[in-house]
Amino acid sequence: MNQRTEIPDSRPTRTHGLRFQLRFGFTLLLITTVLCSLLVLWYRVIEPGERHRRTYVQINEAVSSLADKRPPDVSKRQWSFVIGWTMNAVSNCCAVKEFIVDSDRFHQFARELDREVERDVDMATIDWIWDQFEQFSKYGKTYSANWRPTTPERLKESEYTSTGIEVK
């Protein structure tokens, strides 16, 4: 009795190879899609938000630095009042990305402000800052109309109002 035992062929069939290629192709497509989605998320959401945050901090620091640059013809109470309200305006007009209607102007203002605070400053500098808020912020015009600290009426408030800002 001569019985033959057949050994199964262990060579991969075309079907196995095709399945592997399909799985590999799908995996590669999935990875590529995820990476592309992350790149789009970065460039459309994260990076603009981060750029806005950096610019907001830059503006806030520049305005805060004005506390040490009081003009000789302005009293400490007046300068504290003016700087305090201008810092409030930075927060209320610039803190949220959606408050900005002209992003290019917002970023340009930050660069210009850095140069301005290096020079001698006066009330005209403060008015210029508020004028800029009106140009690039959704709420700038309204906020300026109500709270601009350099108007004669508002400046009188400095005699009896403290913003808590220490000036030199």
Q: What is the mean pLDDT of each run of 10 residues along the chain (168 residues)?
A: 61 64 75 72 72 96 97 96 97 96 97 96 98 97 97 94 90
| In-domain check, residue 45 | no
Predicted TM-score (pTM) of the model is: 0.76
Q: How many folded domains does the chain comprise?
A: 1
d(CA 120, CA 125) in angstroms, rounded, equals 9
Domain of 58 in residue numbering reads as 51-159
| In-domain check, residue 110 | yes
| In-domain check, residue 14 | no
| In-domain check, residue 148 | yes
The dihedral through the CA atoms of 35, 36, 41, 42 has a sign that is: positive
| In-domain check, residue 79 | yes
pLDDT at 6: 64
CB 90 within 8 A of CB 60: yes
CB 58 within 8 A of CB 49: no
